[in-house]
Structure 1
């Protein structure tokens, strides 16, 4: 039996290193890591998803996306035949957005986000904000690899303006019950990870390593 191809897409601006603790049995799964690319001009999310989908070389793969990567893999699935789409710490439609994101869309407040801070994490890290904040900055420095302002402007706008309102019932949704970006109270039909935050790909990796293979194999039959 040939191995099951699994493609992982990281979250907004994140590098593939967010998956460094994720381990699927090598005898069963063939893992591929997708990376963010700089958008071309005023490229739409639909066009971008089509371009990234061209990097998939297997028929009927499993697509797994985290956060904005979860939105992207759902859009990619419109362009290719996929066996399973799994999203982690993400949303299945804009109806699952928190109120603040809906307000940001109406007021265009997302355009006011100070992206220069994200682009200069190293400078920010020189200041002492206390252990907790400094630890988080170190995490950002390691895992947020895409610092291009064009990408960040584009990506934030694509999330806020995502126009999907009809949920694809085939999408498997894994979500933490203490996710502060996409609160679980807005999420319909998901596999709940107790104590899971928005970055549970990093700190709930044991749960994911134990359960992802079972979830994939159940659906792959």
Structure 2
């Protein structure tokens, strides 16, 4: 029996190691991890998606994307004949963004984010934000692979300015009910993971390992 190829795209600036706890039965699935690349000068999201799509070497793959990676795999599906598109902790269109994203779009406030601090997590960690935030920063440092300022500015802008207004009903959306980045109240028709936060790819991996094979094969 041919294995089903499943391509995984991590979240914004994250490395493929965020999938280290995800495991699909080897006899049925082949897992392929994709990585972010530095965007070209003034590159559109669509053109970037087309470039990343060139890394897909299987016919009828399953595309799985987390957060901004979920936005990207939806754009990639224009160039790839995907068997299924599955997004985790993400959105299907810009109407699922929380209000602060919409305000950031109108005011262009996203341009004020100090990318230098994001690139240098160690510097950020010197500020004390309390144990919960510092714990998250440690995770962030471990899984942040792209520390290029141009990439970060491009990525944040392309999330905020994403033009898709209508959800694609064929996209399978897995979402935690405690996601603080994309609150579930704005999200339509997801498969809900109880207690799942925005980083549930790391801490709800048991649910995902148990359910992803069934969702893919359904």
SS at match of 1:146: coil
In structure 2, what is the equivalent of residue 109 of structure 1? 109
In structure 1, what is the equivalent of residue 23 of structure 2? 23
In structure 2, what is the equivalent of residue 87 of structure 1? 87
Report how far residue 99 of structure 1 moved: 0.6
| Distance in 1 (alpha carbons) for counterparts of 2:31 and 2:184 | 28
| Distance in 2 (alpha carbons) for counterparts of 1:114 and 1:205 | 32
Report how far residue 127 of structure 1 moved: 4.9
Higher mean C-alpha displacement, 119-128 vs 202-211: 119-128
In structure 1, what is the equivalent of residue 5 of structure 2? 5
Report how far residue 206 of structure 1 moved: 0.4
| Distance in 1 (alpha carbons) for counterparts of 2:128 and 2:152 | 26
| Distance in 2 (alpha carbons) for counterparts of 1:92 and 1:85 | 11
In structure 1, what is the equivalent of residue 124 of structure 2? 124
Report how far residue 57 of structure 1 moved: 0.1
Q: Alpha-carbon deviations, 1:85-105, whole Å to 9, x = none?
A: 000000000010001100100
SS at match of 2:6: strand
TM-score with structure 1 setting the length:
0.96
| Distance in 2 (alpha carbons) for counterparts of 1:70 and 1:134 | 26
| Distance in 2 (alpha carbons) for counterparts of 1:167 and 1:201 | 22
Unaligned runs of 5+ in 1: none
Report how far residue 129 of structure 1 moved: 4.2
| Distance in 2 (alpha carbons) for counterparts of 1:209 and 1:117 | 34
Report how far residue 166 of structure 1 moved: 1.7
Report how far residue 133 of structure 1 moved: 2.8
| Distance in 1 (alpha carbons) for counterparts of 2:100 and 2:128 | 29
Report how far residue 124 of structure 1 moved: 2.7
| Distance in 2 (alpha carbons) for counterparts of 1:148 and 1:131 | 27
Superposition pairs of residues 1-221 of structure 1, within 5 angstroms: 1-218=1-218
SS at match of 1:165: coil
| Distance in 2 (alpha carbons) for counterparts of 1:128 and 1:75 | 38
Report how far residue 132 of structure 1 moved: 2.6
| Distance in 2 (alpha carbons) for counterparts of 1:121 and 1:40 | 24
| Distance in 2 (alpha carbons) for counterparts of 1:137 and 1:163 | 30
| Distance in 1 (alpha carbons) for counterparts of 2:67 and 2:163 | 16
Report how far residue 128 of structure 1 moved: 4.6
Q: 1:180/1:128 Cα in 2 relative to 1: closer, same or farther (>3 Å)?
A: closer
